[in-house]
Amino acid sequence: MGLNEFIFLLVGLKWTVFLSAIGFACGGITGLGVALARTSGIPVLERVTAGYIALFQGTPLLMQLFVVYYGLALMGLRLDAWVAVAIGFTLHASAYLGEIWRGAIEAVPRGQTEAAKALSLKYVSRMKDVILPQALRISLPATIGFLVQLIKGTSLAAIVGFTELARAGSIVSNQIFEPLTVFGIVGALYFAMCWPLSLYGAHLESRFAAATR
């Protein structure tokens, strides 16, 4: 494998990072909305978001990407491939992060909400200043775990036809007929992104476990 092929892989890597970042950032914002709606105490909102989460957790990411990709086209939206795929990852991430953060919000002791109410804090301030900072801390290991899932998940954009790292690997592999070398390097690049995150997540988890013991 020559330098040109490797650079081609790195361009794919750039798109993988980009897709992961967009999916995580946009999914994080909508996911927060999902988590808040899921814990709002309003039955309709809770049921709708519960269904939304169940839908995304019960179907393969690949199918979600296909449906969003072709669904957007049906709605007459002429989008670039990366925009369509990014919307797919955003929806996927919002459901998973919504569920992780719902759990974290519910894990904050009830007394915190009661104390905040007793101090006559309104909903926004109660959430923003009291509950969410604590929930964020609790959810951090799981959130990082999901980020790793998301980075790995962006490889499925390759099947939809978007040239990120995995598809760049397929293309190079078809050109130079060294599939093991190419996919070995592609795997190593993913590993280099995901492993430090996994280690950091595990480190946080053990630190929290020690703190609550």
Partner 1 sequence: MNYTLDFTPVINGLPSLLAACLGTLGLAVGGMVLAIIIGIGGVILRDSPIRPVRWLVKAFVELIRNTPFLVQIFFIYFALPLAGLRLDPTPTAIIALGINGGAYAIEIIRGGVQSISKGQVEAGLALGLHKSQVFRLIVLKPALRAIYPSLTSQFILLTLTTSVASAIAAYELTSVAQRIESDSFRSFEVYGAVTLFYLVMSWLLMSIFGLIQSRYFSYPVK
In degrees and rounded to multiples of 5, residue 130 shows phi and psi of -115, -60
CB 19 within 8 A of CB 154: yes
DSSP 108: S
Considering the rule CB under 8 A, would residue 20 count as an interface residue with partner 1?
Answer: no
Report the alpha-carbon distance of residue 116 to residue 181 in Å, rounded. Answer: 58
Nearer to partner 1, 63 or 119 (CB): 63
Question: Which lies closer to partner 1 via its Cβ, residue 96 or residue 101?
Answer: 96
**Interface of this chain with partner 1, residues 185 to 204, rule: CB under 8 A:** 186-187, 190-191, 194-195, 198
Distance CA 150, CA 145 (A): 9
Q: Which amino acid appears at position 168 of this protein?
A: A
Exactly one of 29, 55, 119, 176 binds partner 1 (CB under 8 A); which one? 55
The position carrying tokens 């072709």 is 70
What does the per-residue mask of binding to partner 1 show for 68-97, with x meaning CB under 8 A?
--xx-xxxx---------------------
183 lies in the site for partner 1, by CB under 8 A? yes
How far, in Å, CA of 213 to CA of 206, rounded?
10
Binding partner 1 (rule: CB under 8 A), the pick from 2, 41, 43, 58 is 58
Question: With DSSP H G I counted as helix, E B as strand and the rest as coil, what are the percentages for the chain, rounded to 5?
Answer: 85, 0, 15
Give the separation between CA 211 and CA 213, rounded to whole angstroms.
6
Select 55 or 81, whichever has its Cβ closest to partner 1. 55
Q: Binding segment for partner 1 among 38-46, 80-88, 132-140, 163-171 (CB under 8 A)?
A: 163-171
Q: How many other CB atoms are found less than 10 A from the CB of residue 213?
A: 5
Element (H, E) at 125: helix 123-125
Question: According to CB under 8 A, which residues from 132 to 151 bind partner 1?
Answer: 148
From 2, 41, 60, 109, residue interacting with partner 1 (rule: CB under 8 A): 60
Residue 155 found at the interface with partner 1 (CB under 8 A): yes
Decide whether 2 or 76 has the Cβ nearer to partner 1: 76
- Residue from 108, 152, 171, 208 touching partner 1 (CB under 8 A): that is 152
φ, ψ for residue 206 (rounded to 5)? Answer: -70, -30
Binding positions for partner 1, rule: CB under 8 A: 55, 57-64, 66-67, 70-71, 73-76, 148, 152-156, 158-159, 166, 169-170, 173, 179-180, 183-184, 186-187, 190-191, 194-195, 198
